[in-house]
Amino acid sequence: MADGNDQTKKRLLVVEDDKAFRGRLALSMERRGFEVFAAEGIEEGARLAAAEKPEYAVIDMRLEDGNGLDLVPELRQINADMRIVILTGYGNIASAVAAVKAGAVDYLAKPADPDLIANTLLSTEGTLPPPPENPMSADRVKWEHIQRVYEMCDRNVSETARRLNMHRRTLQRILAKRSPQ
């Protein structure tokens, strides 16, 4: 099944709807020894995966044609051992848990460094990643908690505010802001 080329190149599927980012990521991963197959959406990604049978995948969570998590089970059917990383610009703990439950090996917030992506894809099962250089701030931890409760309440602001014991308008202002660093 493996030919000489498979031993030197690691086959990687990149599914990202942002054309510029997809191109930069593909080039960066090629420089790190991957043979990259890039797709714009879920349907194209599924077709490429079926044809090319990659060992690795990097999938954006929010795509024009749906949620990248919906592609994970399909990729698992093609290759049960595929190492899948989910990328998103809308990172929160609830989404990370959903990504891992769907079968991804990790979940990275954009902009993710190509070295971090490659290291995550190539890390062996059961090894812990190194501790973060810059751990989350207290404000970020608070924001993550609010996002998790918001997701658990099916994005219902009133119910989330009730459960967090805060005013609905205060919660709306927090949700409207970008995540703290």
Residues 148, 140: contact at Cβ < 8 Å? no
Q: Does 3.40.50.2300 match the CATH number of domain 4-122?
A: yes
pLDDT in tens, the chain (181 residues): 444 444 556 999 999 988 888 888 999 999 999 999 999 999 999 999 999 999 999 999 888 888 888 899 999 899 888 999 988 776 666 777 777 777 787 888 777 778 888 888 888 765 555 555 666 677 777 877 788 788 888 889 999 999 999 999 999 998 888 766 6
Residue owning tokens 């005013």: 167
- For residue 18, the one-letter residue type is D
Whether the domain at 4-122 and the domain at 138-176 fall into the same CATH topology? no
pTM of the model: 0.65
Helix (H, G, I), strand (E, B), or coil: what is residue 172? helix
Residue 181: partners with Cβ closer than 8 Å, 6 or more residues away = 137, 140
- Domain range summary for the chain, segments of one domain joined by +: 4-122, 138-176
- Report the CATH superfamily, name and number, of domain 138-176: Homeodomain-like (1.10.10.60)
